Amino acid sequence: MTGSFAFSYGPRLVSGAGCAERIADLLPEGPVLFVTDAMIIKLGLAQGALAALAASGRDVTIASEVEADPSRITLEAVVALGRKCGAASVVGFGGGSPMDVAKLAAYLLGSGDDLDAIWGVGNARGKGLPLVLAPTTAGTGSEATPVSIITLPGDEKRGVSSTALVAAYAVLDPVLTLGLPQHVTAATGMDAMVHAIEAYTSAHLKNPMSDLLAREALRLLAANLLVACEEPGNMAAREAMLLGAHLAGVAFANAPVAGVHALAYPLGGHFHVPHGLSNVLMLPHVLGFNMNAAMPLYAQLGPLVDPALDGLGQQAQAQGLLEALRDMAAKAGMPAQLTAVGVSADDLDQLAADAMLQERLLKNNPRPITLRDARQLYEAAL
Is pLDDT larger for residue 332 or for residue 268? 332
The whole-number pLDDT of residue 269 equals 81
pTM over 0.85: yes
Query: Which domains can be identified in the chain, with CATH numbers?
Result: 12-176 (3.40.50.1970), 179-381 (1.20.1090.10)
Mean pLDDT in residue range 360-368: 96
What digits encode the pLDDT tens for the residues 148-189? 999 998 877 889 999 999 999 999 999 999 978 899 999 999
Residue 2 has pLDDT above 80, yes or no: no
Phi, psi dihedral angles at 196 (to 5 degrees)? -65, -45
What digits encode the pLDDT tens for the residues 236-274? 999 999 999 999 999 999 999 999 999 999 998 889 898
The whole-number pLDDT of residue 228 equals 97
Report percent pLDDT > 70 for the chain.
Answer: 99
The whole-number pLDDT of residue 154 equals 81
Average pLDDT of every residue of the chain: 96
Mean pLDDT in residue range 216-235: 97
CA distance 210 to 78: 33
Could you tell me which of 294, 273, 245, 314 has the C-alpha nearest to residue 69? 273
Could you tell me the sign of the dihedral formed by the alpha carbons of 266, 270, 271, 275, in that order? positive
What digits encode the pLDDT tens for the residues 279-323? 999 999 999 999 999 999 999 999 999 999 999 999 999 999 999
pLDDT category at 360 given cuts 50, 70, 90 is confident
Q: Is 346 exposed, middle or buried (0-12, 13-18, 19+ CB in 10 A)?
A: exposed
Contact predicate 362/262, CB 8 Å: yes
pLDDT category at 1 given cuts 50, 70, 90 is very low
Contact predicate 241/175, CB 8 Å: no
Could you tell me which of 56, 77, 51 has the C-alpha nearest to residue 66? 77
Report percent pLDDT > 90 for the chain.
Answer: 92
What is each CA distance from 130 to 77, 167, 168, in whole angstroms?
A: 19, 7, 6
